[in-house]
């Protein structure tokens, strides 16, 4: 297959590229490198199977790359939930406008399949936990969650209007090596600066579901290979959850440190933070997928991989 991966130099995107190359795909990565890291894909750039197009989706110099492609994996976005309430414009542009531009480029090039990375934050503070895909009302509490939900709607409309097919994945927290953001990266950075004290945003009781990145890619590819509705929407996460303080404990144990924890207070870490999140993955399991990791195992693997 000839696959396009937007955001392919990013954390999840680079692991997806690893998988696609190992499956024999020809891959074109479109990435502005705003938060991606060329080192994450460097090992592929000498091969004739992968090409990097350094381009911003908000500009106009990448659309011709879609000619002849079979599928677009659209991962490029600004994944910072916290920052989205500080710079809503940036979020709306890099998520909604960029996604619309990708859909338009696909329509014009005749590319009919899109894979989209959405998020648990589209559900907002759900009253049903674990939260299934059919949960309503969808009431996001962050600009990031709202933007992703808008993208899901656009993708659905394009699929029904222009004979396209889509796979939309609502992720829990995806963690692992090459991640440039999130709780583990944040804690490691803080502990390297000061091993005696760890600042924890909120009260540390925020409890969420985490999944290691390779397991996430395994789930994505399983769903793509086993579902073929016009719009295929699936939660991807693990079947348990872990608190922020427990993550700090695991990390400190792995680093051999015993810092004092300093909580900033409040039950949210930041504006738009959903303090309790666990996704219902029954739909994924009904398809035949067998989960391989829980949240705690995912955290341990991610911590060790990040510290390497």
Residues engaged in binding ligand NAD (CB under 6 A): 7, 9-13, 31-36, 56-58, 75-79, 94, 98, 117, 119, 171, 173-174, 180
**Active-site residue, 144 included:** yes
Catalytic residue among 123, 144, 210, 234: 144
Minimum distance from residue 184 beta carbon to ligand NAD (Å)? 11
Task: Tell me if residue 165 falls in helix, strand or coil.
Answer: strand
State the Cα–Cα distance between residues 170 and 232, nearest whole angstrom: 11
DSSP strand pairing (242-243 vs 207-208):
antiparallel
Contacts 24+ apart (CB under 8 A), 18-24: 18/44, 19/217, 19/221, 20/73, 21/47, 21/49, 21/50, 23/221
In the complex with ligand NAD, which residue's Cβ is closer, 147 or 245? 147
Q: Are 176 and 13 in contact (CB under 8 A)?
A: no
Q: What count of Cα atoms within 13 Å lies in the side-chain half-sphere of residue 280?
A: 14
Minimum distance from residue 176 beta carbon to ligand NAD (Å)? 9
**Nearest alpha-carbon partner for 238 in 204, 276, 268, 212:** 212
Q: Considering only the C-alpha atoms of the chain, give the largest distance between any 2 of them, rounded to a whole number of Å.
A: 57
In the complex with ligand NAD, which residue's Cβ is closer, 28 or 57? 57
In the complex with ligand NAD, which residue's Cβ is closer, 78 or 259? 78
DSSP strand pairing (173-175 vs 165-171):
unpaired
In the complex with ligand NAD, which residue's Cβ is closer, 259 or 306? 306
In the complex with ligand NAD, which residue's Cβ is closer, 13 or 269? 13
Minimum distance from residue 286 beta carbon to ligand NAD (Å)? 22
Q: Are 81 and 13 in contact (CB under 8 A)?
A: no
End-to-end C-alpha distance for the chain, whole angstroms: 33
Minimum distance from residue 152 beta carbon to ligand NAD (Å)? 12
Minimum distance from residue 234 beta carbon to ligand NAD (Å)? 13
Task: Tell me if residue 205 falls in helix, strand or coil.
Answer: coil
Query: Could you give the residue numbers annotated as active site?
Result: 144
């Amino acid at each position: 297959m000839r696959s396009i991966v937007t955001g392919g130099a990013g954390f999840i995107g680079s692991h997806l590229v690893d998988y696609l190359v190992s499956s024999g795909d020809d891959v074109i990565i479109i990435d502005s490198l705003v938060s991606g890291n060329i080192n994450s894909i460097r090992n592929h750039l000498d091969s004739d199977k992968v090409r990097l197009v350094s381009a911003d989706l908000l500009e106009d110099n990448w659309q011709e790359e879609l000619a002849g492609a079979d599928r677009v994996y659209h991962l490029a976005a600004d994944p910072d939930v916290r920052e989205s309430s500080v710079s809503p414009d940036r979020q709306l542009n890099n998520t909604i406008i960029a996604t619309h531009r990708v859909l338009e480029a696909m329509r014009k090039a005749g590319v009919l399949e899109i894979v989209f990375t959405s998020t648990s934050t589209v559900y907002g503070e759900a009253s049903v936990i674990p939260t299934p895909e059919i949960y309503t009302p969808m009431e996001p509490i962050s600009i990031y969650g709202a933007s992703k939900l808008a993208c899901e709607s656009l993708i659905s409309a394009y699929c029904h209007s222009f004979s396209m097919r889509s796979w939309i994945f609502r992720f829990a927290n995806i963690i692992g090596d090459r991640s440039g953001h999130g709780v583990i990266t944040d804690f490691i950075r803080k502990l390297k600066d000061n091993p005696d004290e760890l600042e924890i945003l909120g009260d540390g009781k925020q409890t969420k579901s985490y999944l290691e990145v390779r397991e996430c890619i395994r789930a994505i590819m399983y769903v793509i290979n086993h579902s073929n509705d016009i719009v295929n929407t699936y939660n991807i996460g693990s079947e348990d959850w872990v608190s922020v303080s427990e993550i700090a404990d695991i990390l400190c144990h792995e680093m051999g440190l015993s810092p004092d924890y300093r909580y900033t207070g409040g039950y949210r870490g930041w504006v738009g933070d959903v303090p309790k999140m666990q996704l219902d993955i029954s739909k994924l399991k009904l398809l035949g997928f067998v989960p391989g990791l829980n949240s705690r195992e995912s955290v341990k693997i991610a911590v060790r991989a990040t510290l390497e």
